[in-house]
Amino acid sequence: MERVKIKLPANFTFSTIVRIRITDLNLGGHVGNDTFLSLLHEARHEFLKQHGYGETSFENAGLIMADAAIEYKKELVQGDEVKISVAADGFDKFGFDLFYKMEVVTATENILAGKAKTGMLCFDYTIKKIAPLPEKARLKLQGT
């Protein structure tokens, strides 16, 4: 069986900390794939907000997720403090990729819990079609 392999960028420009709540757990007693993706959504929201954006206010466009890939490395359980780092890369005419590194923060080290990538497309919600990536937004997200 072929496995998903995500190559993370060398540098991350943003990170946020979330604490895993008891309500984040599934019947297996750990964070399930749906909640894992929700945690990425939270980090994406904070990353965009840092740059003055939202998913419906991205210069003259909105954003929509075109795809998602997650590579699980460690269970997340209630009480874990998780650092989620985010970086934008792979820009093209209509969108870009966001990469995520999730790490459990302990007193002595950060332990990799997962790697993920979401493909983000610019989207005009009025006419329900993809839209060109605004150059100003690309420059902001690239840090230039």
Alpha carbons 53 and 141: distance in angstroms, whole number:
10
In a domain, 7, yes or no: no
Q: Is residue 5 part of a domain?
A: no
Domain of 105 in residue numbering reads as: 14-142
Q: Model confidence over 43-90: pLDDT tens digits?
A: 999 999 999 999 999 998 999 999 999 999 999 999 999 999 999 999
Helices (H), 26-101: 33-50
CATH code at position 92: 3.10.129.10
Q: Is position 2 within any domain?
A: no
pLDDT at 143: 80
* Domains held by the chain: number: 1
Alpha carbons 29 and 102: distance in angstroms, whole number: 19
Asked whether residue 26 is domain-assigned, the answer is yes
**pLDDT of 99-125, one tens digit each?**
999 999 999 999 999 999 999 999 999
pTM: 0.96
